[in-house]
Structure 1
Amino acid sequence: MKPITALALAATVTLAGCQTTTSSAEVTRNASAPAVALLSFNGLGNCQVNLRSVPAPWLVVDPKEEYYGATSDPMSDALDGYADAIGRLGAAAFQSDAAKDRLRVAILSWAQSNAMQWPRNWDVGPDSGPATVYFTTHTMVPVAIAYGEHRDIFSAEEQVVIESWMKRLVDRTGNNVWMSRWSVDNKGYLWASLAMAYGIIAEDDAYIRRATRIYQGAIRAMRSDGSLPNDSGRGGSAVHYTNKAIASLVLTAELAAGQGVDLYSYSSGGKTIHTAIDYLVRATQQPALIAGYAAEDTGASFRGFDANNQKLDWVRTNSAAWGAYYIKRSPQLSTAQNLQRVSSFLRAPRPETDAPSGGIPRCLA
């Protein structure tokens, strides 16, 4: 595909590769298609990964019954466990045929079971709607990346099953009242990265254009200092959710870069994704920079933290994993150097999965 500018991407995108037809519910494929180069780096899989067992398919996402917030519960254990296991298998499969076999079974078994269905009353309850949408999207991002990078290990028939299942979940998470409220929110950006990955896999420009509009909307909505309006208003979680938002925006930009499109340079009012990353680093070092926004209360905050007492542990955990993409792509930028300086995780990245980052950036980058 010829590289095109980020500004043109929202208007027209033409992707080369397999021929796919889509309908409202199903995907058809005439012949087995090769893997899709979702990410543009050449060193994929260049790390050692400890594999984890794959949970049995979780059939119904119903937070009213299973989700208890900060405590461990069967639903979130299964979904988080699946995202982690797939992220690890997706990295290991670049080097190991045994890992490829395990990845194939892991993705196919959940697709054949039509896992992650929603109950009829999924939106009844104070937190059930947002949690249902979030958990489903969060689980599917690393699944889409691993599947796209290794699609050639699946038969044509298996691809139909998996991509039809994936399409149902992408549509369900993207087309509901909650997602419409999250146009400038970390959860909306998380969905955009899933939609971008699916759009590339299925060669469906509509998903790519919508993901691009969400990305561009995030840059336009950003304040001049780099703060993201909704995520910076989360009390003691403001830095935490700003980091989550940036992880998804960076993954979306990486997916576009794999298609020859530069979203990193997309600018609105002099603001780019680099502006947001610079702000995150500065607010982590000087939490007073975000305290005023954090007090605006645009969403729940973690217990034990408040606007003047931020949760800042992202710098030493796998929540910083997205930085591996950014630093490798732009090592000369002061923003990348400052990011590495503030994050002990990025100074010595571990092969750990971060779902908003699409798996294990330490291995994928």
Structure 2
Amino acid sequence: MRHVLFILLVNLLTIGASHAQVKSLFDVEARRAALAQPAMTTVRAACLAIPRDPAWTGLRPVDQLKVSESTGADGAVADFTWAVMVLTGRALAGDTASEASLRDLLLAWARAKALERTEAGSDAEHALKRALLPTVAAYSVLHRGLDEAQRQSLAGWINSLVRRIDRGAETIGDGSSHGHMAASILMAWGAATGDDALYAKGYERYRSILAQARSDGSLAPDVRRGARALWFTRQTLASLTVMAEVAATRGADLYGIREGEANFDRVLSYLLNAIAEPSVVMAYASEGDILGGELDFRRQELGFLSKRGNGRHLMAWAEPVLARDRPGLATRRLKSLHARSLRLDRPLIDEAVGGNATCFWGR
């Protein structure tokens, strides 16, 4: 009898609120309604800016992501992730053909138990994380149109991958950016399924990141990365932003909390200071344990300020931050950067924020 009750409990956690609205990275129904308003015509156009490729529905499920001998994540899942990000934005904006394509693609991968045999290793597991957050966002957008069997199939598959991330996630205190991304995924899925234990892991990770910040807003695990010091700081801010946005769907303001002298704005200000004047980071970057492509800590890699050739923009997390129109100098400076540079690259799409950030949060 106890075994039966345990199975029922697991199923409830896996399926989550199967008949209720799912809130994860953002309030899906509120955003859907907002995008239908005339004042949001430009943003809705950003949701639809990239055309649907009919071939995406036929993308063959990837059995596993493999550890590669070179740096960088396994690229075998990149096409799937891009398709999911584009289709989710289009579905949110009301494109029924894209919604059907997204549903069919995800259900096919769920039935095939795709990615479940991913090898243990940092690059393969990082590629899995990059695929997962967009998949969680897609589930939230699709949820209302799925029947019960489809919900169970899709939620069960995502849950198995999230649990793998949970088992392999770096500890709260290690400070790695890969660990931050893992925590953002756990928090997002916890919010989507009502799993408070998973949600709490993200919440605690957020506070631990702030607790590690120096008085100037720098994060030691990031800024010691040589030529990629600012690259990793930006990556941490992306995960902080996702966790803050997930918390906002539950009425919590993580942007406003403080650990010692540090808060979100302090870390953001450090990044913006160092972008404007790279000498700010030089002393820390000279300790570099990962030098980056330039192999010279004095030449910071700032490629994240421009859209990449694969369509991604690593500053996509600026969209939700600016959508909140928070007071303070850090927000005003980010808004200035957005107006003179980032806005020209819209839509801003990136796995680290779950997809088309302009569509999900942009104003």
Q: Same fold (TM over 0.5)?
A: yes
Aligned to 2:221: 230
Contact 1:61 1:132 in 2 (8 A): yes
Instruction: Give how far 1:248 is off.
Output: 1.1
CA distance in 1, matches of 2:260, 2:318: 24
Instruction: Tell me, in whole angstroms, the C-alpha distance in 1 between the residues paired with 2:100 and 2:107.
Output: 11
Q: 1:162 aligns with which of 135, 154, 163?
A: 154
Unaligned runs of 5+ in 1: 1-19, 124-128
Question: Separation in 1 of the partners of 2:179 and 2:296?
Answer: 24
CA contact (8 A) 1:38 1:259 kept: no
- Give the alignment's TM-score, normalised by structure 2: 0.83
Task: Report whether the alignment pairs 1:58 with 2:62.
Answer: yes
The ranges of structure 1 where at least 4 consecutive aligned residues each deviate by more than 4 angstroms after the TM superposition are 28-33
Cα deviation, residue 301, structure 1: 3.0
Q: Is the 8 A contact 2:13 2:194 kept in 1?
A: no
Identify the residue that residue 310 of structure 2 maps to in structure 1.
Answer: none
2:333 is aligned to: 338
Query: What is aligned with 2:49?
Result: 49
The number of aligned residues is 331
Is the alpha carbon distance of 1:39 and 1:181 closer, same or farther for their aligned partners in structure 2, counting shifts above 3 Å?
closer
AA at the equivalent of 2:49: V
Q: Which residue in the other structure is 1:101 paired with?
A: 100
Tell me the residue number matched to 2:116: 117
Q: Which consecutive unaligned segments of at least 5 residues does structure 2 have?
A: 1-6, 36-42, 308-312
1:88–1:359: 8 Å Cα contact kept in structure 2?
yes
**What residue is the counterpart of 1:356 in the other structure?**
352
Counting only pairs closer than 5 Å after superposition, residues 25-36 of structure 1 correspond to structure 2 as 27-28=14-15, 32-36=19-23
Q: Indicate the residue corresponding to 1:6 in structure 2.
A: none
Seen in structure 2, the aligned counterparts of structure 1 residues 136 and 21 have a Cα distance that, compared at 3 Å, is: farther
Kept in 2: contact 1:330–1:336 (CA 8 A) = yes
Q: Please name the residue that 2:180 is paired with.
A: 189
Determine the structure 1 residue equivalent to 2:293: 303
Distance in 2 (alpha carbons) for counterparts of 1:247 and 1:58: 27
Q: CA deviation at 1:114?
A: 0.8
CA separation of 1:327/1:349 partners in 2, compared to 1, >3 Å: closer, same or farther? farther
Deviations 1:243-270 (CA, angstroms, capped at 9, x unpaired): 1110111011011112211111110112
- Residues 337-362 of structure 1: CA deviation (Å, up to 9, x unaligned): 21233354433341242000111111
Report if aligned partners of 1:192, 1:214 keep a CA contact under 8 Å in 2: yes
Q: Please report the TM-score for the alignment, with normalisation by the length of structure 1.
A: 0.83
Does the CA contact (< 8 Å) of 1:236 and 1:294 recur in 2?
yes
Q: Identify the structure with bigger relative contact order (alpha carbons < 8 Å, sequence gap 6+).
A: 1
Within a 5 Å distance, the mapping from 1:1-365 to structure 2 comes to 22-23=9-10, 27-28=14-15, 32-36=19-23, 38-40=25-27, 42=31, 43-44=34-35, 46=44, 47=46, 48-50=48-50, 51-52=52-53, 53-54=55-56, 55-64=59-68, 68-69=70-71, 75-76=74-75, 78-94=76-92, 95-118=94-117, 122-123=119-120, 129-176=121-168, 179-180=170-171, 183-298=174-289, 300-317=290-307, 318-330=313-325, 332-343=327-338, 344-365=340-361
Instruction: Tell me the CA shift for residue 237 of structure 1.
Output: 0.8
CA contact (8 A) 1:92 1:99 kept: yes
CA contact (8 A) 1:192 1:211 kept: yes
The percent of aligned pairs where both chains have the same amino acid is 24
Aligned partners of 2:329 and 2:320: how far apart in 1?
Answer: 15
Give the conservation status (yes or no) of the 8 Å contact 1:84–1:353.
no
The answer (yes or no) to whether the contact 2:227–2:295 under 8 Å persists in 1 is yes
- Would you say the 8 A contact 1:114–1:165 is kept in 2? yes
Distance in 2 (alpha carbons) for counterparts of 1:171 and 1:37: 17
Q: C-alpha displacement at 1:31, in angstroms?
A: 5.7
Q: Is the 8 A contact 2:65 2:124 kept in 1?
A: yes
Once the two structures are overlaid, the 10-residue window that deviates more, 288-297 or 338-347, is 338-347
For 1:218 and 1:135, how far apart are their aligned partners in 2?
22
CA RMSD of aligned residues (A): 2.5
CA contact 2:173–2:208 (8 Å) conserved in 1:
no
Decide whether the 8 Å contact of 1:86 with 1:103 is kept in 2: yes
After TM superposition, the structure 1 stretch with the greater mean CA deviation from structure 2, 239-248 or 141-150, is 141-150
State the shift of 1:181 in Å.
7.8
> CA separation of 1:245/1:22 partners in 2, compared to 1, >3 Å: closer, same or farther?
farther
Q: How far apart are the structure 1 equivalents of 2:8 and 2:187?
A: 17
The question of whether the paired residues in 1 share the 8 Å contact of 2:183 and 2:202 is answered with yes
Give the conservation status (yes or no) of the 8 Å contact 1:305–1:311: no
